[in-house]
Structure 1
Amino acid sequence: MKQNNSVNDFILLGLTQDPVRQKMVFVIFFIFYVGTVVGNLLIIVTIKSNQTLETPMYFFLFYLSLADSCFSTSTAPRLIVNALSATTIISYNECMTQVFALHLFGCMEIFVLILMAMDRYVAICKPLHYPTIMSRKVCIILIVLAWIGSFIHSIAQIILALRLPFCGPNLIDHYCCDLQPLLKLACMDTYLINLLLVSNSGAICSSSFVILMTSYIVILHSLRNHSAEGRNKALSTCTSHIIVVILFFGPCIFIYTCPPTTLPMDKMVAVFYTIGTPFLNPLIYTLRNSQVKNAMRKLWHIKITSGTKK
């Protein structure tokens, strides 16, 4: 990566400089990260190994779990390692790579959530046309477009980051590299770049949140014409999705629509949507979904049975 500056590396200040609190950060986020990876991998394996889950909703859930795992991995390992390290240096190239990965998988999560809302809308509001509209071929095309859109968004972010000149200091008051904390270190007027950041990341988060909430309001309104059993099942599914949308987009909108300030709350909000939400998603989708829980039980039973026979 071409450097437009005299800085070869950065120092991440992390969440705290207190040694005792750093140990707490290590323990807490190690548990969160392991839980995120294990939980999402369990969902991925369950969906891939169970034929009853070969529907568009679980097809998209598979990619949401994949995006969650990668999104958390783009930030959590560095935070965990730095909590116990004497030096918290991150190279320029690694920092730019983290910016790219953070936005690639974060944007992918946004697009998958939109696709899941679209799937529920078609299933509930247009049930007779559902098999045609949400065919396997259509789902694959939508996921490919989501990956392409995420890649384009990440390229735009990395171009903005690479154009920033740094001449010192190199202290990033954050636990990861992102455009917002990097803007504070740039040796230039960053008003225009911050405006581009808000119009890109901020607009994607805000508009996606409005689209998602509007779609779920329409879905919930249409449920009045369904039977009690169908209404309860749809409500359970939609409630899970709405919880995920609020937990993810609330902090995301706060971060990318505000000016680049140095507030301790900014880091905690960022932690919530980069590490907290990917950890909660598997719990929300499994604890509130009997079909996934039953599939997991069958998978676990098969593994135990095969292990006993050996």
Structure 2
Amino acid sequence: MEALQAARPKATVVATPRIIKPAEEALWRVLLTLEGADALLVRSAGLLVRLSELAEEEGAQLPRLHGDFSLNVANSDAARAFLALNLHRLAPTFDLDASQLCDLSAQLLPTERSRLEAVIHTNVPIFHTEHCVFARCLSKGDSYKDCGHPCTRHSLHLVDQEQRRHHVLADSGCRNTVFNAQPQSAAPYVSRLLKAGVRHLRVELTDQPGTVVGPLLQHYADLARGEKAVDEVMAWLNDNLVDSTGRQPGVTLGSFRPTAERAWDSLRPTAAEERANRRRGAFEHKDMRGFARPAQAKRKISRLTS
């Protein structure tokens, strides 16, 4: 509540938990009672359907609903289906590159594409788990009842074999999300997205000090208005963006980079195909040593019995 009030007069969107189990309805119902929340970021299809039912059956007054990338909208049919569930905005899946995002926008009606939201800067969530790293590493407790809530006081990162630091955040259900250490940026494609009819651009920040936030948002705003060149923005991001540990992770194009579909014969065989190939190879080897194949053996038997 204090954070919502401190953000005024700016609009605020409160993120719902990524996973909600049947007995955890209180986790999202409390969000409907928040004063000052202008919208909810809906991260699961189940919650979106439940909220729609709540509005229809109980006449509940809902804030605006924003659909997150985790709804996995990758085509126009899915986009229309979700937009029909009273979504004010909808972020397509990260599985789409910049060209595919533009194609998706082009396949929608103007009133539909105007509700698309492209996440142009983010540390992509790469892992979501019910295991709480905070409770395991920073307390002697086993659950929220006795852990002391270290997640509210400490910043935690997982360090991989290449010394990259992946930020960990806990949600209201004590589940942890691990974010990629290096953010991805769609700066080179912002102009194309705007021309394709995308009107909402989202910048997600989870692990950046406050001193970086203002300049970063200003660079993206200037880019969208055509007041800064792409090279200038990318150079600033690589030279000035730091995480909460003071490291400079740089940025990557990540999933935004358009890639051509690989030729089918260039793909590695699946495990099932490899097993079938091994069986076929062994069978052919036996055949070369004089063993008859099943079809040939059947014909020989039929000749002997006729």
TM-score under structure 1 length normalisation = 0.26
TM-score (norm 2): 0.26
Is the radius of gyration larger for structure 1 or structure 2? 2
Larger proportion of helix: 1
Relative contact order higher in (CA < 8 Å, ≥ 6 apart)? 1
